[in-house]
Amino acid sequence: MSSAHLGLGSKCPPAHKCKLRLYSMRFCPYAQRIHLVLDAKKIPYEVVNVNLTQKPEWLYSKSPQGKVPVLELDGDCLHESAIIADYLDDKYQHWPLHPRDPWKKAKDKLLLDQFNKVVCLLMRMLRSPRNIDKLFMEELMEELDVFEAELTARGTPFYGGSRPGMLDYMIWPWCERSDMPRIVVGDRWNLPKERFRHLMEWRGAMKDDEAVKKSFLESSVHAKYFMSAQAGSPDYDLLLH
Amino acid sequence: MSSAHLGLGSKCPPAHKCKLRLYSMRFCPYAQRIHLVLDAKKIPYEVVNVNLTQKPEWLYSKSPQGKVPVLELDGDCLHESAIIADYLDDKYQHWPLHPRDPWKKAKDKLLLDQFNKVVCLLMRMLRSPRNIDKLFMEELMEELDVFEAELTARGTPFYGGSRPGMLDYMIWPWCERSDMPRIVVGDRWNLPKERFRHLMEWRGAMKDDEAVKKSFLESSVHAKYFMSAQAGSPDYDLLLH
pLDDT tens across A186-196, in order? 888 888 999 99
Any domain includes B221: no
Provide, as residue numbers in chain B, all residues whose Cβ is less than 8 Å from the Cβ of A91: 102-103
Of B166, B208, B184, whose CA–CA distance to B36 is shortest?
Answer: B166
Question: By the 8 A CB rule, do A39 and A52 touch?
Answer: no
According to the model, what pLDDT value does residue A1 have?
A: 80
Across the interface, do B73 and A103 touch by the CB < 8 Å criterion?
yes
Q: Which residues contact B21 (CB under 8 A, 6 or more apart)?
A: B15, B45, B46, B47, B48, B71, B72, B73
Burial class (CB in 10 A: 0-12, 13-18, 19+), A85: buried
Across the interface, do A78 and B103 touch by the CB < 8 Å criterion?
yes
Continuous segment of H or E residues that includes residue B20: strand B20-24
According to the model, what pLDDT value does residue A21 have?
A: 98
Across the interface, do B105 and A90 touch by the CB < 8 Å criterion?
yes
According to the model, what pLDDT value does residue A31 have?
A: 98
Number of domains within chain A: 2
Any domain includes B144: yes
The DSSP 8-state label assigned to residue B23 in this structure reads E
Any domain includes B239: no
Tell me the residue range of the domain where A156 lies.
Answer: 102-208
Closest alpha carbon within chain B to A103? B87
Any domain includes B228: no
The DSSP 8-state label assigned to residue A240 in this structure reads G
The Cα of A222 is separated from the nearest Cα of chain B by a number of Å equal to: 30
Q: Which residues of chain B have pLDDT under 70?
A: none
Q: Is the dihedral of CA B32, B37, B39, B43 positive or negative?
A: negative
Across the interface, do A103 and B84 touch by the CB < 8 Å criterion?
no
Provide, as residue numbers in chain B, all residues whose Cβ is less than 8 Å from the Cβ of A86: 106, 109
Provide, as residue numbers in chain A, all residues whose Cβ is less than 8 Å from the Cβ of B110: 78-80, 83
Provide, as residue numbers in chain B, all residues whose Cβ is less than 8 Å from the Cβ of A83: 106, 109-110, 113
Of B80, B90, B106, the CB nearest to A83: B106
According to the model, what pLDDT value does residue A25 have?
A: 98
Across the interface, do A103 and B79 touch by the CB < 8 Å criterion?
no
Are A141 and A189 contained in the same domain?
yes
CA A24 to CA A50: how far, in whole Å?
6
Question: By the 8 A CB rule, do A146 and A188 touch?
Answer: no
CATH number at residue A79: 3.40.30.10
Are B78 and B121 contained in the same domain?
no
Point out the residues of A that are catalytic.
28
The Cα of A167 is separated from the nearest Cα of chain B by a number of Å equal to: 14
Extract the runs of DSSP E, i.e. beta strands, from chain B: 20-24, 45-49, 70-73, 76-79
Are A144 and A81 contained in the same domain?
no
**DSSP for B141-157, written as a single string:** HHHHHHHHHHHHHHTSS
Question: Which residues on chain B place their C-beta less than 8 Å from a C-beta of chain A?
Answer: 73, 76, 78-80, 83-84, 86-87, 90-91, 102-103, 105-107, 109-110, 113
CATH number at residue B141: 1.20.1050.10
- Residue finishing a domain among B64, B96, B128: B96
Question: What is the complex's ipTM, to 2 decimals?
Answer: 0.96
According to the model, what pLDDT value does residue B54 have?
A: 97
Are A136 and A159 contained in the same domain?
yes
Point out the residues of B that are catalytic.
28
The Cα of B80 is separated from the nearest Cα of chain A by a number of Å equal to: 8
Provide, as residue numbers in chain B, all residues whose Cβ is less than 8 Å from the Cβ of A106: 78, 83-84, 86-87, 90
pLDDT tens digits, one per residue of A45-87: 999 999 999 999 999 999 999 999 999 999 999 999 999 999 9
pLDDT tens digits, one per residue of A129-180: 877 888 899 999 999 999 999 999 999 999 999 999 999 999 999 999 999 9
Any domain includes B220: no
Any domain includes A232: yes
A67 three-state secondary structure: coil
Across the interface, do A76 and B103 touch by the CB < 8 Å criterion?
yes
Any domain includes B147: yes
Q: Where are the alpha helices (DSSP H) in A62-133?
A: 81-91, 102-127
According to the model, what pLDDT value does residue B182 have?
A: 87
CA B211 to CA B213: how far, in whole Å?
5
Question: By the 8 A CB rule, do B166 and B89 touch?
Answer: yes
The Cα of A6 is separated from the nearest Cα of chain B by a number of Å equal to: 25
